[in-house]
């Protein structure tokens, strides 16, 4: 038999992973997962939070070294055993995590070529280093001076710097974990186009994302994981008009194991009188005197109502929310918050909480949670008086209350003593929600509450929000996803350049109307 006769009919996949199993204390994260990635393709890895996507990619990239898992990993048909990240990078595999691995104080060049600087006689040749960095930046479509500090760039630009950094290592397989979760629409489009360009250059990409529209737009194949197992791999073909052969509902069914007939739960329609009113709320930048970030905002919130606040990145939504929550952002200029028609003190966080105001921040990891602490302490942290007797915390009562709240939030964990860092993103978000629900808020401000979590967990959070509204609370929902605003909100305010530019009843709102208001400059309406 000739060598030709023994060769496979199709080329080896660039990556083959077979029967991958990985355990952590008390939990099996991967239970026999298999994955093939072809050269020069975009392969999406989908699944609910906790399905094992990130763990699988950490196995591939050497974060979890050989010996800490079982199963077979092959590159170009040859078995590999990466002992660390450097070994995986030497084989052309690079991973870009959701939390970017850049050094803010260093220049773009220093970040892109960190450990791979151009040298001459053992000394860094900065001219050559900047020149090479400039070429790599050009390849990812970023026109910036490579001598600038990375900290001066937007998050979207920093994502491109990360990709340029991977290309400097002659990457063959690029893994991107939720790369667009913190990007605006323009930056997301730019990044997705770059993935298609890299595909044309022969670079394979594994894309982990919960944004189904983006996945369907760029992916050649979609592998779905559920509960640490491979469910199926779908091939995505496109017709002459570019429409994918696989629809979003098909992917959702594979992810959650059931039909998800509704993306957004219905409200009960029982909207009461105005409970909270914001009047002429005005805030300046915290360090740049006279730079107005929130300019004369007026809005009203009724009990039982979910009110949306829509705007493009930089519109001032988060600045408004944080400044309202105990003046946590900026320099307060003027304005009032009225509760039941009476002025309410929110001049610090303690007074805001005492006034029934709660704020779920967009960055749950740095602003919403103490990651190295357990669910119990995180849940009760904002309302210690409820589990204390004469200033002394009752540990038994704290455990009972935290467990009760976890059950109400449907947090999937091993108990109230589990460290929050070990939870999936969706369950971390539920802990943040539980923390603020424990304060019994009358006004709950939600800032990007479903960012970076899967469609199943999103629906559970939507149910929690609707339940809170049905109990009579006021909810202000800030989201960059217009379908989420349209699906969840009874009324929507649009914001641009720190001002409210319009108000639309939920029944009359559509994406075109909101986008027109979100891009309106000049005087507020």
Quick one: pLDDT at residue 5?
37
Structure tokens at 121: 């006689």
Residue 266 lies in a domain: no
Same domain, 198 and 309: no
Structure tokens at 60: 């591939």
Residue 431 lies in a domain: yes
Structural domain of residue 213, as residue ranges?
8-256
Alpha-helix runs per DSSP H in 355-452: 375-380, 395-409, 425-437
Residue 470 lies in a domain: yes
**Strands (DSSP E) found in 361-482:** 388-389, 392-393, 443-447, 474-478
Structure tokens at 257: 């194991």
User: Which pairing describes strands 474-478 and 306-310: parallel, antiparallel, or unpaired?
Assistant: parallel
> How many angstroms separate the CA atoms of 137 and 156, rounded?
13
Same domain, 289 and 141: no
pTM comes to 0.67
Same domain, 322 and 351: yes
Quick one: pLDDT at residue 261?
56
Same domain, 410 and 457: no
Same domain, 433 and 450: no
Same domain, 410 and 454: no
Of the candidates 446, 448, 374, the residue with the CA atom closest to the CA atom of residue 411: 374
Same domain, 228 and 278: no
Q: How many domains does the chain have?
A: 3
Residue 107 lies in a domain: yes
Please say whether the beta carbons of 500 and 469 come within 8 A: no
% helix / strand / coil in the chain, to the nearest 5?
A: 35, 25, 40
Same domain, 13 and 134: yes
Same domain, 324 and 471: yes
Residues with Cβ < 8 Å from 76, sequence gap 6 or more? Answer: 12, 14
> How many angstroms separate the CA atoms of 177 and 458, rounded?
18
Quick one: pLDDT at residue 494?
95
Same domain, 72 and 195: yes
Print pLDDT tens along the chain (525 aa): 333 333 344 457 899 999 999 988 767 889 999 999 999 999 999 887 778 888 999 999 999 999 999 999 999 999 999 999 999 999 999 888 877 788 988 999 999 988 878 888 888 888 898 999 999 898 888 888 999 999 888 777 888 888 888 888 888 999 988 888 767 777 788 888 888 988 998 999 999 987 888 888 899 999 999 888 999 999 998 888 778 888 888 887 887 775 555 678 887 768 999 999 999 999 999 888 888 999 999 999 999 999 999 987 778 999 999 999 999 999 999 999 999 999 999 999 999 999 999 999 988 888 889 999 999 999 999 999 999 988 899 999 999 999 999 988 888 888 899 999 988 778 888 899 999 999 999 999 999 988 777 777 788 889 889 989 999 999 999 998 888 899 999 999 999 989 999 999 998 998 889 988 988 754 444
Q: What does DSSP assign to residue 341?
A: T
Same domain, 252 and 197: yes
> How many angstroms separate the CA atoms of 80 and 341, rounded?
68
Of the three residues 226, 256, 286, the one that is the final residue of a domain is: 256
∠ at Cα 185 (183, 186), nearest 5°?
A: 95
Please say whether the beta carbons of 494 and 514 come within 8 A: yes
Residue 423 lies in a domain: yes
Same domain, 378 and 332: no
> How many angstroms separate the CA atoms of 360 and 449, rounded?
7
Q: Compute and round to an integer the Cα radius of gyration of the chain.
A: 25
Quick one: pLDDT at residue 100?
78
CATH number for the domain that contains residue 28? 3.40.50.300
Residue 1 lies in a domain: no
Of the three residues 385, 415, 440, the one that is the final residue of a domain is: 440
Please say whether the beta carbons of 332 and 283 come within 8 A: yes
Residue 365 lies in a domain: no
Quick one: pLDDT at residue 11?
58
Residue 241 lies in a domain: yes
Element spanning 516, H or E: helix 511-518
Of the candidates 479, 452, 367, 448, the residue with the CA atom closest to the CA atom of residue 180: 452
Of the three residues 440, 464, 487, the one that is the final residue of a domain is: 440
């Amino acid at each position: 038999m000739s060598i030709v006769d023994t060769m496979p009919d199709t080329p080896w996949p660039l990556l083959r992973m077979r029967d991958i199993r990985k355990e952590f204390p008390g939990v099996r994260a991967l239970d026999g997962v298999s994955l093939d990635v072809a050269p020069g393709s975009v392969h999406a890895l989908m699944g609910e939070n906790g399905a094992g996507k990130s763990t699988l990619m950490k196995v591939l990239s050497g974060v979890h070294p050989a010996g800490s898992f079982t199963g077979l990993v092959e590159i170009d048909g040859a078995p590999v055993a990466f002992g660390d990240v450097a070994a995986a990078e030497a084989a052309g595999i690079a991973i870009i995590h959701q939390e970017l691995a850049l050094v803010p104080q260093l220049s773009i060049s220093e970040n892109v070529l960190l450990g791979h600087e151009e040298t001459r006689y053992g000394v860094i040749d900065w001219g050559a280093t900047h020149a090479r960095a400039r070429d790599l930046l050009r390849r990812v479509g970023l026109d910036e001076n490579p001598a600038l500090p990375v900290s001066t760039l937007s998050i979207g630009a920093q994502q491109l710097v990360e990709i340029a950094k991977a290309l400097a290592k002659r990457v063959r397989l690029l893994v991107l974990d939720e790369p667009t979760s913190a990007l605006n629409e323009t930056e997301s489009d730019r990044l997705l186009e770059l993935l298609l360009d890299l595909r044309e250059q022969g670079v394979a990409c594994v894309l982990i994302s919960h944004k189904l529209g983006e996945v369907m737009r760029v992916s050649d194949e979609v592998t779905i994981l559920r509960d640490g197992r491979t469910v199926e791999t779908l091939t995505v073909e496109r017709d002459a008009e570019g429409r994918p052969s696989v629809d979003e509902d098909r992917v959702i069914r594979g992810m959650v194991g059931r039909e998800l007939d509704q993306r957004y739960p219905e409200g009960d329609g029982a909207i009461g009188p105005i409970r909270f009113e914001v009047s002429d709320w005005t805030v300046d930048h915290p360090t740049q005197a006279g730079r107005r970030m929130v300019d004369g905002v007026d809005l009203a919130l009724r009990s039982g109502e979910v009110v949306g606040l829509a705007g493009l990145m930089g519109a001032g939504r988060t600045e408004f929310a944080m400044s309202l929550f105990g003046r946590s952002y900026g320099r307060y200029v003027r304005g009032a918050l009225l509760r039941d028609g009476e002025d309410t003190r929110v001049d610090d966080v303690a007074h805001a909480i005492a006034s029934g105001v709660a704020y779920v921040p967009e960055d749950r990891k740095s602003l919403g949670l103490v990651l190295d602490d357990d669910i119990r302490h995180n849940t009760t942290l904002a309302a210690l008086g409820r589990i204390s007797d004469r200033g002394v915390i009752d540990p038994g009562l704290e455990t009972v209350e935290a467990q009760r709240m976890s059950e109400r939030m449907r947090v999937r964990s091993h108990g109230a003593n589990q460290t929050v860092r070990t939870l999936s993103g969706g369950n971390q978000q539920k802990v943040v929600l539980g923390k603020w629900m424990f304060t019994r808020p009358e006004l709950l401000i939600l800032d990007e509450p479903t960012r970076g979590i899967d469609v199943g967990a999103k629906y559970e959070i939507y149910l929690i929000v609707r339940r809170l509204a049905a109990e009579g609370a006021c909810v202000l929902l800030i989201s960059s996803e217009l379908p989420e605003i349209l699906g969840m909100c009874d009324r929507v305010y649009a914001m641009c350049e720190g001002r409210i530019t319009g108000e639309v009843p939920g029944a009359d709102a559509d994406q075109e109307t909101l986008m027109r208001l979100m891009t309106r400059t000049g005087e507020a309406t």
